[in-house]
Every structure is written in structure tokens, then in C-alpha cells.
Chain A
Amino acid sequence: MEIAKFKAAKRVPGGQHANQRLRQSGELPAVIYGHKEAPEHVSLPLREIEKCLAQAQHVLELDIDGAAKTFLLKDVQYDHLYRTPIHVDLMRVDRNERVHVKVPVHLIGTPKGLAGGGELLTLMTELDVEAPLLAIPDEIRVQIGDLEINGHVYVKELTLPEGVTALASPDDAVCLVRTKKAAVEVAPVEGAVAEPEVIAKGKVEDGDAAAPEKK
């Protein structure tokens, strides 16, 4: 696993306009917390963070005022179009620390059961794991080629890299192959209620009764 290294600058926390100005200059506001120390506010180069996110890197080494420290990317907020990051949360970590992260689950192969009229249901697209900071896996690969109809892959059956433990329940299913269900045609019910029930019905009736009296 690669560790991204770049410079960060301390910043004075400002309001939305200060943050907008920061973003317009190609920087990204970020907060650092953890290890029971006071939170710090920094700005990071947006392009570097976008590169890290594209490569699903969890660990960063930031040079803040000449001191290099390691941080875990904890959270990212995106703009309303879910496109550009607008804020990042970083957590202080030691290099020999174990951390909780989510790792994508990658299913490999086509289950045998699909040929027999089954359908694959993916229940878990990412897995919560505890791993050493410097050995966070990029993805968990699961072979599903041998899955027959009604076959499951459970968390306990996954082959995890050394030192990595799953935090999900061992009996949770990652994926399964089930028989395709026939489409159910929903026939329109005769005399179906065309309007929702009104909670304040009593009040409405009172209002209707009082309405003719108005001039």
C-alpha cells in the first residue's frame, strides 16, 4: 500500500465564505483530530486529495510546518453533485496502530448457479475490517465461481490478508445465489382509496360545517 506524501498548511477556521475562497484557490479545508489532542484546521491541495481518493488510499503523510506526520483519511464530504470533495476529516494515527476501515469486496468469477436459472445477490459491497495501518488491503477478493443455487459466501469463509480481521459478524452473508423469483403482477384493487387518510379529519369536518356560515 502506497502512502501519499504532500504538504499541508495550517489555517484559521473560517465560515463558508472563507472556505469558498480556499476552494477557489485549489485548496481543500480539512480538520485533524484524534489521540485526545485538540483539533487542528489545515488546508490541503485538492488535486492530491482527489488522486488519493481515486486510488482508494487511506493513509496520508502530511508535512505541516516542516513536521511530517501520518494521518488516516476518515471522512470526505462531496459537493451537492457528488463530484468534488469539499471537506476532509483526518485522524491522527501511529504507524504501528491498528485501525478500523472499510475495504471494498470484489467478487471474482461467474457463479455456476446462474446457468441454472439463479440470480446473484450481492449483500456486502464493502467490509468493515481492523488492520495494521501500513497493511490495509486495497480490496477483499472473493471467488464465487463455485456457487450453486442457494449457495452463500459468509464473512467467516473469506480469506483475509495476515493481520486483518473482519469486524462484521462471521455469519453475515457477503453474497448468495438464489432462484429467480417470478414477476408478481399487482392488479389494481377495485374501489382502491384514491386519497390518503387525513389525520386531522375531525377538524376538516368542523371546517366544512363552518364554511357555509362564512360570507
Chain B
Amino acid sequence: MATMPKRVKYRKQQKGRLRGNATSGNYVSYGEYGLQALEAGRVTAKHIEAGRVAAQHFLQREGRVFIRIFPHKSVSAKPLEVRMGTGKGEPAYWTAEVRPGTIMYEIGGVSAELAKSAFARIANKMPVRARMVMRKPSL
């Protein structure tokens, strides 16, 4: 099931720009391995769900999959064959905005080989290039 916020202050949002690199959410915090975005982009709720299903189906309920991003931003669209004007379209879908460095998914409790294969399956579903990173030892 695609996710979206439960309550929002306003239904429609401005487009905005995705500049710079991730300054938060760019460390592996929950699992042992993470899938890191290497470019900026919008990951929709459908992408996130598709990635989760792909990983959990592959892992056969071994280990844990953590989703580190949430679709907070609504994107509006006009219906087909509608003339321009007459105001902004209705919200069509929800997206998470990711910047280079954002950890999108984490996996824990499985071997590195298994995590790598699971991340490869998730990365195929993602609209941005991604790579696997390993958790750094704490001090």
C-alpha cells in the first residue's frame, strides 16, 4: 500500500528545487547495510513500496528491511486533454525528495551477499542511481 502523510496543512505544494547534497539521513543508522542515492530525484510512494516488496520477497522474511525515506511532498497534475489555465491540478501522487547521499533503505540481520542482492533488486525499482554502503563502526 502506497504511503502518504496522515494530516497535512495544505494539500498542494510548490514544486521547489532539489539542490545540494544530503546533510541528514546520510548515515546507516538502523541496519548493517544501506542503499544510498547517488543523485537527486523524486522517489514516489509507488517506488518506495515496490522496493520494499522486492526486498522482502527476495529475503523471504529473513532479517529486517528499514525504509528511511517518506513521501512528504504532494505533486499535482492536470487530467489529460485539459486546456491550460483554470488553476493548479489536483494532487496526483506523493514523493520523497532525495539528494545525493540519502540512505533510502537499510537491511539488518542478513549476510552482506544477501543484502547486496536485495539492494540490487531495490535499485532496479528506483528512479535514481544508488549504491550499497556498509555501516561504519561506532567509536
Contacts and interface: CB of A to CB of B under 8 A. Distances in A.
B109 A120 contact: yes
B109 A198 contact: no
B9 A80 contact: no
Contacts of B22: 80
Measured as residues with beta carbon below 8 angstroms from the partner, the interface class of chain B is 35 or more
Nearest to A186: B1
A111 to B, nearest CB: 12
Contact of A199 (B9, B100, B101, B137): B9
Contacts, number: 81
A198 B8 contact: yes
B23 interface: yes
Given A125-B32, A180-B61, A81 B5 contact: no
A3 interface: no
A186 B38 CA distance: 32
A125 B28 CA distance: 13
Interface string A97-120: 000011010000000000000011
Interface stretch (A25-33, A71-79, A146-154): A71-79
A60 to B, nearest CB: 11
Contact of B91 (A56, A74, A195, A200): A195
Nearest to B100: A80
Given A78-B27, A121-B109, A53 B8 contact: no
Give the secondary structure class of B's interface: loop
Nearest to A180: B61
B41 to A, nearest CB: 15
A101 B139 contact: yes
Contacts of A188: 1
Given A119-B61, A180-B61, A195-B11, A75 B6 contact: no
A204 B8 CA distance: 12
A181 interface: yes
A126 B137 CA distance: 8
Contacts of B6: 196-197
Contacts of B10: 198, 200
A53 B6 CA distance: 42
A75 B61 contact: no
B63 to A, nearest CB: 8
Contacts of A200: 9-10
A198 B27 contact: no
8 contacts: A79-B101, A80-B22, A82-B101, A126-B137, A188-B1, A197-B6, A197-B8, A199-B7
Interface of B: 1, 4-11, 21-23, 26-28, 32, 34, 36, 38, 61-62, 64, 91, 99-101, 103, 108-109, 133, 135-139
Given A196-B7, A198-B11, A200-B10, 11 more contacts: A76-B136, A79-B101, A82-B28, A101-B139, A104-B137, A183-B61, A195-B11, A196-B8, A198-B8, A198-B9, A199-B8
